[in-house]
Amino acid sequence: MKARVSEPWVEAPLQRFADEARVTFALLLQPSGQVLGQFGFTRAMDVMAACSLAAAINVTAAQLGRELDGTPFRELHHAGRERELFIAEANTARGPLVLLAAFGDESSLGLVRLYFRELCTALANAAPAVAPAPSAAGRVDLGENLERDLDHSLAILFGRARPDPEGMLSVPSSIPPA
């Protein structure tokens, strides 16, 4: 199975971690909950739900550590009946990243921790200092059609219009109330 990433520099480290540590699922995300890469998930939206929860666990554990121990908790492990969870933070030039890994009988906590250390090193070496930008201005050019496209997308999303085969917006004659 191949890791899927939103930024290319995390692909090789994440793939190696997933393969070597033999995890069932792996997620690499920003502390705010934005996914950078995933392994083993089949539906994008489930990835997002897992990211939001992993980010929440990570940030609350860190805060709890500060309150109770004076330093943030940076690594968590939970042994479930069939799967075990491992959540930990890796520091890179792009800021801290959070790893969520789930594994079963084919792996172990020791193996996951061992390859997590390697993942930290690989990410630290691979991380570009700043986020890549598509233009000299470093901005995403959403163009002059942003407003039209936004209206179009939201109208379809809320069932207030439907796209026709040519991609033009089609408005029902009787528009349902909000």
Residues that bind another protein (CB under 8 A): 6-8, 30-36, 43-46, 48-49, 52-53, 56, 59-60, 63, 131-134, 137, 139-143, 145-161, 168-169, 171, 175, 177-178
In Å, how far are 47, 120, 150, 160, 163 from 75, measured between CA atoms?
20, 13, 40, 46, 47
Residue 115: CB minimum distance to another protein, A: 25
Cβ at position 108, least distance to another protein in Å: 29
Kindly state the tokens that stand for 15.
């793939």
Q: Which is nearer to another protein, 13 or 33 (CB)?
A: 33
Give the integer Cα–Cα distance in Å for 52 and 54.
Answer: 6
Say if residues 22 and 111 touch (Cβ distance below 8 Å).
yes
| 115 close to 17: Cβ distance less than 8 angstroms | yes
- Least distance (Å) between residue 154 CB and another protein: 5
Beta pairing partners, 91:
96
Report the Cα 120 to chain-centroid distance in Å.
Answer: 16
Min. distance of Cβ 25 from another protein in angstroms?
A: 16
The residue among 18 and 36 lying less far from another protein, judged by its C-beta, is: 36
Give whichever of 105 and 144 is closer to another protein, judged by the CB atom: 144
Would you say 113 or 160 has its CB closer to another protein?
Answer: 160
C-alpha 58 chain-centroid distance: 13
